[in-house]
Each structure stands twice: as structure tokens, then as C-alpha cells.
Amino acid sequence: MNFLIRESAPGDEALILSFIKDLAVYEKMLDEVVVTETLLHDQLFVKKLSCCLLAFEDEMPVGFALYFFNFSTFLGKNGLYLEDLFVRPEFRGKGYGKKLLLHLFDIAKKQHCGRMEWAVLDWNTPAIDFYKRMGAKAMDDWTVFRMQVPS
């Protein structure tokens, strides 16, 4: 059994969208997914505002991680923000999530980022426990805010 992580490329939009929808089902938020293959293509490959890693077991797609770079004014360095990490349920417990996270950490180091950050739903204790085992620290003194920008 071979494990491969690669950057996404044009033509991967349908696969990425399928992972996004699988994640949305898991998070009970499928009704919020409005992204299309065309929008993914534009954001990932035309504007290059975000990046996506794809994970495979042999030829079988098993997971993805979508990320982008932000900037810390305090550190004066870019940071890597992990928007989504998802491994299909039937492939969990095999180390794929860990390999994706470590691959992202390597990207952050190569890009001289000051930190890597992400958000986790409060009820997602399997993910929270996994991230803590990986050495991540919860930012309990911060509250995430969101404002929708009208189209």
C-alpha cells in the first residue's frame, strides 16, 4: 500500500468538491455548500489565492487539506491557515490525517511561516483530540467572529 500527497492541479476540481461535500455532511452543514468546480478552479488555479493537498492510498483518494497564507502583524511573518482537513471515514486511523498535517507543517517551515492555525468545531472531539496529540494548542482565549459579505 502506497501513500501519496500531492498538490492539486487543474482537473482535480471535481475531486476537491467531493471532499468538500463529504466534509460538509460530516459537519452537518451540506446546505451551506455553494462552491462549484468553476469557482474552485478560479480560486486555486487562476487567482491562486488558496492551495489544496490531495492524499491517496495507491490510486484511491482518501483525503484533502485546503490552506492559504495569512500574515501576523505581531510576528511580521506569514502564517499558514488550514481551512479544511478531511480524511474519508473508512480511511481514518491509518495515519493519513497525521501525514497531511505534517506535510502542511513542512510547507509552513519552507515558507518561513511563524505559525500554523485552524479552527475546529467544538463538538468535533475526535479532531480536537487528534490535534492535541499532534502538539497543537487550543486558543481558548480567542473567539472566532464571522461576517457574511453580500454578493
Active site residues: 131
Task: Give me 1's grid cell.
Answer: 500500500
Q: How far apart are CA 39 and CA 137, in angstroms?
A: 33
Distance of CA 113 to the CA centre of its chain: 16
**3-class secondary-structure state, position 63:** strand
Largest CA distance in the chain: 46
Task: Give me 98's grid cell.
Answer: 497525521
- Tell me the residue length of the chain: 151
